[in-house]
Amino acid sequence: MPQSRGSTRREFIKVAMAAAVAPTLGFATQAAEKLSLELPPLPYAYDALEPYIDAETMRLHHQKHHAAYITGLAKAVEQAPELRRKTLEELLLSLSSLPESVRTAVRNHGGGHYNHSLFWQCLAPKAQASPEGPLAAAIARDFGSFDSFKESFTKQAMAIFGSGWAWLVWDAGKLRVETTPNQDTPLGVRKKPILGLDLWEHAYYLRYQWRRAEYIAAFWHVVNWPAVAALFHNLVQRA
Ligand code: MN
């Protein structure tokens, strides 16, 4: 349709002109800022995951713990404003090339921001018990069955000494369970987490105290499998 081609071309010219003009208007710095230092809102209410994860834990975890990682990362950005030109994922993938003065802060606070942002997305009230479609098929292929995946994930989550995370990661074409200490992420050039479980005591101590096994069992009731499947789908499409 000639008319729509014409309008597409006009749109293109408009965008191209805006890009050419922007630097002279002083927009260059803003356009280059890719790092988000905003606390992402939870996609559900604080009490939505009751009785599995209690409202008070969710509120403190989101408003205090996650927010503190963002504050920590923002302090690093004050010292090294060039950090803003990369996405959080790009920063975490290039830790070794960051200035030494901010490297640990980005690893810990940037990692905390990344891990928690993913964690909230992986949870949902009234969740379905297991995934469907291509993700279910890939879990069956790489773990034998959904139950053996859950068993492996639970075992590794239980084995974390101190604070850390358990993950389901897509690693160069294969799903694997992994753990990381502290706020380290499992990110790699061809590796991305699609499901994470926070095993810091702040994630469960109010309700479960030392009973980590009960917290892990409760977690399976609130996994947002459609969200995990969407992350999986994006990775498979990019591969
Ligand atoms: Mn946490």
219 and 163 in one domain? Answer: yes
Q: How far is the CA of 60 from the centre of ligand 1 (A)?
A: 10
Please write the tens of the pLDDT for every residue from 88-130.
999 999 999 999 999 999 999 999 999 999 999 999 998 899 9
Q: How far is the CA of 1 from the centre of ligand 1 (A)?
A: 53
Inside any domain, residue 2: no
Residues contacting residue 101 through CB under 8 Å, at least 6 positions apart: 79, 80
Inside any domain, residue 12: no
Inside any domain, residue 187: yes
Could you tell me the two tokens for 11?
């749109």
66: pLDDT strictly greater than 60: yes
167 and 95 in one domain? Answer: no
Q: How far is the CA of 66 from the centre of ligand 1 (A)?
A: 7
233 and 169 in one domain? Answer: yes
Q: What is the pTM of this model?
A: 0.86
d(CA 174, CA 138): 8
What does the buried/exposed string (b/e) look like for 166-185 if buried means 16 or more CB atoms within 10 Å of the residue's CB? bbbbbbeeebebbbbeebbb
109 and 74 in one domain? Answer: yes
Q: How far is the CA of 123 from the centre of ligand 1 (A)?
A: 13
Inside any domain, residue 227: yes
Inside any domain, residue 46: no
230 and 138 in one domain? Answer: yes
Please write the tens of the pLDDT for every residue from 217-234.
999 999 999 999 999 999
17: pLDDT strictly greater than 70: no
Inside any domain, residue 83: yes
Neighbours of 228 (CB within 10 A): 21
222 and 146 in one domain? Answer: yes
234 and 137 in one domain? Answer: yes
User: What range does the domain containing 101 cover?
Assistant: 55-121
Q: What is the CATH number of the domain that holds 171?
A: 3.55.40.20
Inside any domain, residue 142: yes
62 and 154 in one domain? Answer: no
